[in-house]
């Protein structure tokens, strides 16, 4: 499912127009981005836990040349499904 399909499904299930569903999606996305930047973690009990994690610098190898390269440290987003959500997906 891509974003367009998701917004259409959101509109259908939420009994709203696609324009309103798109606005809701944009607000949700903006809220996630803002809160992860500020707090670093969002917990939606039973659904998702989303957190920013630090990835340390490491050595890697260029597969084409075999040359060792330095990969800098960076931040990444980790998403874990809550138990209730995972149970619904698995049944």
pLDDT digits (tens, 9 = 90+) for 13-57: 999 999 999 999 999 999 999 999 999 999 999 999 999 999 999
Grouping H, G, I as helix, E, B as strand and the rest as coil, residue 90 is: helix
pLDDT value, residue 56: 97
Indicate whether 44 and 15 sit together in one domain.
no
49, 91: one domain = yes
* 80 shares its domain with 48: yes
Domain count for the chain = 2
Residue span of the structural domain in which 59 resides: 40-91
DSSP 5-51: HHHHHHHHHTT--HHHHHHHHHHHHHHHHHHHHHTSEEEETTTEEEE
Residues 51 and 80: their CA atoms lie apart, in Å, by: 9
Instruction: Judge whether residue 65 has pLDDT over 90.
Output: yes
Together in a domain, 53 and 89: yes
pLDDT interval class at 91 (50, 70, 90): confident
Distance CA 11, CA 8 (A): 5
């Amino acid at each position: 499912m891509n974003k367009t399909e998701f917004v259409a499904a959101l509109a259908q299930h939420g009994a709203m127009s696609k324009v309103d569903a798109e606005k809701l999606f944009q607000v949700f996305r903006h809220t996630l981005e803002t809160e992860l930047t500020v707090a670093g973690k969002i917990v939606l009990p039973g659904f998702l836990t989303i957190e920013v994690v630090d990835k340390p610098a490491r050595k890697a190898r260029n597969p084409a040349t075999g040359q060792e390269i330095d990969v800098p440290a960076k931040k990444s987003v980790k998403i874990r499904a809550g138990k209730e959500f995972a149970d619904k997906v698995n049944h």
